[in-house]
Amino acid sequence: MSEKFDAVDVIITKRDKGELSDEQIDWVIDAYTRGAVADEQMSSLGMAILLNGMNRREISRWTAAMIASGERMDFSSLSRPTADKHSTGGVGDKITLPLAPLVAACGVAVPQLSGRGLGHTGGTLDKLESIPGWKAAMSNEQMLAQLEDVGAVICAAGDGLAPADKKLYALRDVTGTVEAIPLIASSIMSKKIAEGTGALVLDVKVGSGAFMKNVDDARELARTMVDLGTDAGVKTVAMLTNMQVPLGLTAGNALEVRESVEVLAGGGPEDVVELTLALAREMLAAAGHTDVDPADALKDGRAMDVWKAMIRAQGGNPDADLPVAKETHEVLAPADGILTQLDALKVGVAAWRLGAGRARKEDPVQAGAGVEMHAKPGASVRAGEKLLTLHTDTPERFERALEALDGAWTIAPEGSRPDLLPLVIEKIS
């Protein structure tokens, strides 16, 4: 068939800092998905977008074209409103696990399509797959039935949602265009809008363990995504949150599930509880449920009940023992003082090297591998006390994990204070 546009003309428009028309955008996304635009041409256009940007209209149209490449889900038949959360990824970020059942326990259904870990950031599906029997794959019909019955689903996105994004995402990874904010924002939002949720809360991480290293870049990404959601008729709010330090006291798959269950039982680390409740309140408010306090559902066991029902509905046994790594190695504090720094990126890379993460999508992960933290910034430590415990089935991995942790912490004299951003930095709506 003859094509409506020429890919080279579209590339040159953006290379020369021009605006792409709606028709050009619709065509290039469709043609790339069909294979009529070659990878090298889309790589060139991606680089031009990275260097020269896009305006709000262009990004909105680009996102709409990616949504149009596949199916759209519809939850309007449910007896309750829907709200979803998306995190841009971090270290120890297990928030989805307690958050989805907590919000469901408060009367709002949570259709949470999640992903796997790549590099130093953990994947929600990898964590849940450490639970014996649990399955990530579901049909749309199964998802709808579970949302009505249980109120929460955490599962893998089907191939039908935004297939253009799947193809473009893989290309960005190998062409140095991952950091292009228009492409990040449209990638995330095309899937979330196609998913069909009524409200969306975005957790945009900031700091060494995050994709966005500084507040200004994170704010730009958050603003772009909120605009995209608003333009598509989805009530969207973003929170900028701190990822200088890992969340909670664990980074790894089964380790993080165990910690999430502690939160659902009314305990767990303060930062995980604080962020879970902050995001739950935003999700409930966005769905119109402002008269419920999610803290009550943690205390009275309702959130735990939904968690168990959600795990069982997807084939898992919520009461089974979780996998434990065969080998451990303790890292001891070298001096007395105050822990003032614990670098999230270095901890994340160590967990990855221990087997908790993957370098390529097809790599396997170890369920029990990861890093356990015995102190967080602000805590007093004593020389010879445990600072970290490393977990793996393959002890030959300890050496490279310890290399990754070189310079990961700072112990300052007593009376020192860590210089950290607040856990929730700001809200963008």
> Would you place residue 44 in the very low, low, confident or very high pLDDT band (cuts 50, 70, 90)?
very high
Tell me the residue length of the chain.
429
Tell me the C-alpha distance between 174 and 361, whole Å.
13
Beta bridge partners of 371: 251, 390
Give the pLDDT mean for 330-345.
97
Residue ranges of the chain that CATH labels 3.40.1030.10: 83-159+171-313
Residue 66 has pLDDT above 90, yes or no: yes
Vertex 57, ends 194 and 5: CA angle to 5°?
Answer: 85
For the chain, the maximum distance between any two Cα atoms, rounded to a whole number of angstroms, is 73
The dihedrals phi and psi of 407, each to the nearest 5 degrees, come to: 80, 15
Give me the pLDDT at residue 414, please: 93
- Average confidence (pLDDT) over 394-417: 97
Residue that is written with structure tokens 């893998």 in the block: 156
**Given 165, 203, 231, 271, the catalytic residue:** 165
Using the predicted structure, report yes or no on whether residue 93 has a pLDDT greater than 80. yes
Task: Over range 8-25, report the average pLDDT.
Answer: 98
Counting beta carbons within 10 angstroms of the beta carbon of residue 374, is it exposed (0 to 12), middle (13 to 18) or buried (19 or more)? middle
Mean pLDDT on 365-377: 97
Selected catalytic residue, list 191, 235, 302, 376: 191
Rounded CA gap, 73 and 235, in Å?
17
Residues of the chain with CATH 3.90.1170.30: 327-412
What's the mean pLDDT in 29-50? 96
Report the range of poorest mean pLDDT among 162-171, 200-209, 331-340: 162-171
Q: Could you give the percent of the chain with pLDDT greater than 90?
A: 90
Among candidate residues 172, 289, 308, 391, the one labeled active-site is 172
pLDDT class for 106, splitting at 50, 70, 90?
very high
- Ranges in the chain annotated CATH 1.20.970.10: 7-68
Provide mean pLDDT across the span 406-413: 97
pLDDT given at position 138: 94
The dihedrals phi and psi of 82, each to the nearest 5 degrees, come to -115, 150
Number of Cβ within 10 Å of residue 206's Cβ equals 27
| Mean pLDDT within 409-416 | 95
Give me the phi and psi of 228, to 5 degrees please. -60, -45
302 assigned to active site: no
CATH superfamily of domain region 7-68: Transferase, Pyrimidine Nucleoside Phosphorylase; Chain C (1.20.970.10)
Question: If phi over 0 gives left and psi between -120 and 50 gives alpha, with beta otherwise, what is residue 52?
Answer: alpha
Transcribe 254-279 into DSSP letters.
HHHHHHHHHHHTT-S-HHHHHHHHHH
Residue 56 is predicted with a pLDDT of 95
CB 372 within 8 A of CB 250: yes
Asked if residues 155 and 181 have their Cβ atoms less than 8 Å apart, the reply is no
Q: Which of 59-63, 176-180, 378-382 has the lowest mean pLDDT?
A: 176-180
Distance (Å) of CA 408 to CA 139, 301, 380, 398: 43, 37, 17, 15
Alpha-helical runs (H) found in 94-137: 96-105, 124-128
pLDDT the model gives residue 179:
84
**Catalytic residue at 187?**
yes
The percent of residues above 70 in pLDDT, for the chain, comes to 99
The answer, yes or no, to whether residue 191 has pLDDT greater than 80, is yes
* Higher pLDDT among residues 169 and 344, named by residue: 344
Confidence band of 1 (pLDDT split at 50, 70, 90): low
Nearest to 189 by CA among 153, 155, 231, 160: 231
Measured CA to CA, the distance from residue 402 to residue 347 in angstroms comes to 10
Average pLDDT over residues 163-181: 88
Q: Tell me, what amino acid is at 337?
A: G
Query: Phi and psi dihedrals of 129, rounded to 5?
Result: -70, -10
Residue 80 annotated to the active site: no
Pick from 175-179, 194-198, 239-243: least confident: 175-179
| CB of 152 closer than 8 Å to CB of 107 | no
Q: Which fold has domain 327-412?
A: Aldehyde Oxidoreductase; domain 3 (3.90.1170)
Does 361 have pLDDT greater than 80? no
Average pLDDT (28-43) is 96
Instruction: List the catalytic residue out of 14, 61, 85, 86.
Output: 86
Q: Average pLDDT over the chain, rounded to whole? A: 95
- Distance, in Å, from the CA atom of 238 to the CA atom of 232, rounded to the nearest integer, reads 16
Residue of 69, 187, 190, 208 marked catalytic? 187
Q: Could you give the 3-state DSSP secondary structure of residue 412?
A: strand
Of all helices (H) and strands (E), which one includes residue 100?
helix 96-105
- Work out the average pLDDT over 355-371: 87
Amino acid found at 193: I
May I ask the CATH architecture of the domain 83-159+171-313? 3-Layer(aba) Sandwich (3.40)
* Active site (annotated) includes residue 191: yes
Q: Is 380 a known active-site residue? A: no
Residue 49 CA to residue 58 CA, distance in Å, equals 11
